Amino acid sequence: MKKILLTGLALVVVIGGVAVFSAFEAHIINVTAHIENALSVLPKEIKFGTVFPQEYVEQGMEIKLSSSFLKESRVDDVKYKIVQKLKPCPLQEGTIEPVDPTCVQDAAEATPENPTGWHYLSLCRFLSKLPNEQEAGDTGVPSYFHQDAAGNFCLEPTSEIALGSLSKLATDISDKWTIDLKVPPVAGYIGQDWPASCADWVVESNDKTYGCDLWIEVTEISLPGETPTPTTPPICSDQADVMLVLDRSGSIDSPELATLKIAAHAFVTAMNPDGGVHMGQSSFADTGTLDLQLTGNQIAINAAIDALSSGGWTNLYEGLDLAQGELVSVRGRALAPNVMVVVTDGNTNQPPDEANARLVAAAEAAADKAAGTEIYVVGVGGDVDATYLINNIATDASHYFSAGDFDDLQAILQALANCQPVPTPGPVTLFSDDFETDLSQWTKSYINPPESSDLNDDVQLTDAVTPGDKYVQIKDDAAATASINTTGKQNVVLSYDRRVQDLASGDKLVVRWRVDSGTWNDLEQTTGTAWTTKTWNLPSTADNKAEIQIQFWLNNGNTNKGLVDDVKVTGVNL
């Protein structure tokens, strides 16, 4: 890769003898450059407030590629460093006296940024700077208060400078760091528990304000050379007309609608509509409505989102039609790319019947795309027909995003708005029981003839072992069986906590699963007497099934007990 090194400027002046001519001809070359920062850093300030010796406090910090850098195809990697400097004290207006009387002055510390030399007492040596994830190119500075192999604390770090790197091509566009402070004691007030090796790691005065500035400095920018970079998506352009197309059908319950609104608000905030980006909204249930015409007024956009209420069938066709009509109206701008962001959690079924609804929605989307509109689709939940939405509604497969549930929606929409890689949705919970209320999700049965036939006694909730935290207790050849629908899901995972109690020789707790009413497959036969969390990745035969069953069976024994708690089954959308 070609490298652009950020170094000091050198001015070279060349003087030589030339013949003197009159200026009979002149040419002017106008030279301009638009300069923007390569990095975006949040927060701008860290305030730990009043803290006390021996306290441990921390604050997160995110360093990411700026939106301008992401849009510029010429550049790829950024390397940076985090350095510490004394924190200057602000001065009283019209004077050279500091506003904080605890500040100190040192002429030797005067800099162009702080010509008077007034600064806060230094906190710098007590701060750590550690990346949350260890990635190539990221090197942190650990806390001074950590122990080495010899048992010594308070070691001087080999370097006070942390290093980081970001890369568009490697989709590493954001680093998260933790800045922590182990509060040291005040000189003259050191407790006996403070390690002897930390005798010099104290602050000099009580009741003072200490500070430190962290400077994030770009040290290198790399060019991608001949490697092509993706074209900036229209949704990330400085100018775009964007229509939200939101599903408000009856399959979205109140909590899901509330989460959808939060996600939509976050999307609007990230898009930051103004003179460059205009946004509008259509929504659909039995019919579609144009909720808001294209505008740069963020307040009006958020108000349209807040006004949504759910109920009725799903008419995707009219939602698309109304959105496209607005994009090509007099409010649509000729030079602004047209974009739709469709969010739906169900299959379209209006206008009647369902087959017709799918045909007309697909035809509308095809016409919109042919007219130049780019369509992003976020399918939410487990009953979405992703194949239909990818093949018939979205611009292409790269414009379709699957949210396992509404909790994943916000992260996806924000990533789209910020030109960031869209996160892969997490697993969807298909079944869950913490056994705090009842056994309504379970079927009780005997596998072999019991010694005493009382199912309600042999499969029951109790907290005898863990008071206040109920679990299911199984004994006397009884079993508890649950049915789970994995339709549309893959990578099915079963997890639970279990132990046995008062188990006789040869008895065991059996955990097994099967598809529908097929052959049982044992996962384990255990005699473990300590609570243990078990997790099983079920084979692919458990994927996309109308019913699988899981069963916990205490094999033998009237007084022997199998204890089970916190059963959970998850899957990932196909």
Per-residue confidence band for 425, with pLDDT thresholds at 50, 70 and 90: low
Bridge partners of residue 537, in order along the sequence? 493
Out of 381, 407, 423, a domain closes at 423
Confidence of residue 571 (pLDDT cuts 50, 70, 90): confident
Report the pLDDT value the prediction gives residue 6, as an integer from 0 to 100. Answer: 32
- Residues 153, 476: Cα–Cα separation, whole Å: 57
Of 374, 372, 416, 412, the closest CA to residue 393 belongs to: 374
CB neighbour list of residue 424: distance below 8 Å, 6 or more residues apart? none
More confident residue, 518 or 488: 518
Residues 463 and 413 in one domain: no
Mean pLDDT across 108-115: 80
pLDDT given for residue 558 in this prediction: 66
Q: How far is CA 10 from CA 7, 32, 211, 217, 444, in A?
A: 9, 20, 35, 20, 83
Q: For residue 415, count other CB atoms closer than 10 A to its CB.
A: 16
Same domain, 190 and 296: no
Could you tell me if 214 and 245 lie in one domain? no
Task: Please report, for residues 19, 112, 208, the alpha-carbon distance to residue 103 in angstroms, rounded to integers and kept in the order given.
Answer: 62, 18, 8
Position 60 in a domain: yes
- Is 12 domain-assigned? no
DSSP alpha helix (H) spans, 330-429: 354-370, 386-388, 409-417
In a domain, 117, yes or no: no
In a domain, 229, yes or no: no
The torsion angle over the Cα atoms of residues 396, 399, 404 and 406, rounded to 10 degrees, is: -130
Structure tokens at 568: 């959970």
80-89: burial string, b at 16+ Cβ within 10 Å, e else: bbbebbbbbb
CB 492, CB 486: distance < 8 Å: yes
Does 537 have pLDDT greater than 80? Answer: yes
Given a cut of 90, is residue 433 above it in pLDDT? yes
End-to-end CA distance of the chain: 38
In terms of DSSP H, where are the helices of 406-454? 409-417
Q: Which CATH number characterizes residue 517's domain?
A: 2.60.120.260
Task: Count how many domains the chain has.
Answer: 3
Domain CATH number, residue 261: 3.40.50.410
Answer whether residue 426 shows pLDDT above 70: no
Instruction: Verify that 319 and 386 share a domain, yes or no.
Output: yes
How far apart CA 12 and CA 437 sit, in angstroms, is 81
Q: Flag whether 518 is in a domain.
A: yes
User: What are 290-306's pLDDT values in tens digits?
Assistant: 999 999 999 999 999 99
What per-residue confidence (pLDDT) applies to 296? 92
In this prediction, residue 21 carries a pLDDT of: 47
Q: Are residues 186 and 291 in the same domain?
A: no
pLDDT of residue 342 exceeding 60, the answer is yes
Q: Clarify whether residues 180 and 285 are in a common domain.
A: no
258 and 361 both lie in a single domain: yes
Given 358, 388, 423, which residue is the final one in a domain?
A: 423
> Do 154 and 43 belong to one domain?
yes
* Same domain, yes or no: 371 and 470: no
**What is the pLDDT of the chain when averaged over all its residues?**
83
CB atoms within 10 A of CB 14: 4
Is 19 a residue whose pLDDT tops 50?
no
**Banded model confidence at residue 232, pLDDT cuts 50, 70, 90:** very low
Is residue 540 predicted with pLDDT exceeding 60? yes
For residue 280, give the DSSP letter: E
Q: Is the peptide bond before 180 cis (omega within 30 degrees of 0)?
A: no
Q: What is the pTM of this model?
A: 0.42
Domain that holds residue 77: 39-87+123-222
Distance between CA atoms of residues 528 and 531, nearest Å: 8
HEC-encoded secondary structure of 243-275: EEEEECCCCCCHHHHHHHHHHHHHHHHHHCCCC
